[in-house]
Amino acid sequence: MSAATATESAATAAPPVFEIRPFSGAVGAEIVGLDLRRPVNDQDFARIHRAHLDHHVVVFRDQQITPQQQIDFSRRFGVLQIHVLKQFLLANHPEILIVSNIIENGQNIGLGDAGKFWHSDLSYKELPSLGSMLHAQELPAEGGDTLFADMHKAWDDLPAALRTAVEGRCAAHSYTARYSETKFEGNWRPTLTPEQLAQVAEVVHPVVRTHPENGRKALFVSEGFTTRIVGLPEDESRQLLGELFAHSVLPQNIYRHQWEPHDLVFWDNRSLIHLAAGCPAHLRRKLYRTTIQGDAPF
């Protein structure tokens, strides 16, 4: 092979250069020019990992990947967690939770009201999620946005009185805290079996956690799963949590993601809480979620 031919072959084999473009607001960046159908080398993976830590949520544009490719990429970041609602797991791919409002043959094909309250995924587990990846399959013509709130910023800007009130305290988290509450029209949740209830028993975590990779502190409470401050009377606990919830979602701390076809959104559950804004019930919405296991909060 001539030198020219070798150079041409190397150029052909080289992966395309991708860009990391930070958003203008509190958090978030988009990654453009990366095709996750192709293997990601260690150098590129390190860039992605760094972007995820720096920006807390990254949006991979136009990812026309298979469920298995989503699973394989997610596993680069750690062990995957299987959701308790096994009836909404993708056939032959239990690592994927179907998030969808679509009804077929009278049955919901996925979890239609996932994220109806602000929350951090799986904070109700002893080992909460490191991060989640959500891949757009079908998007509604209107609505369907996902909001992310920066919990590092929430801690950094927490008034002194609230800091004093929460430092060193722990809070209880429960999957069933608001499980049966309705918020968006047309949604339905299955009754949990005794076996499922046993998988989501109440856990206790610090109100303020330290990120194990970047060392920053973040509030670790949410209206979706946090039920009480341990050691406080019920009325004091309710009032304190209400103040923390309100402070966490101030507009300046929020990134609102408006979905585009084939977006793959990867967020850090140690740094953010998120909320599904909802969409009209008659408009089809379907996404695939993988969830990466994290460490015990400290």
Query: What is the set of active-site residues?
Result: 119, 121, 274, 289
Bridge partner residues of 264 (DSSP) = 60, 135
Whole-number Cα distances in Å, 271 to 21, 179, 185, 212: 19, 23, 30, 11
Residue 19 near residue 11, CB atoms below 8 Å: no
Distance CA 51, CA 121 (A): 20
DSSP category for residue 245:
H
Give the residue carrying structure tokens 């379907």: 286
* Consecutive H or E run containing 115: none
Amino acid, single-letter form, for residue 50: R
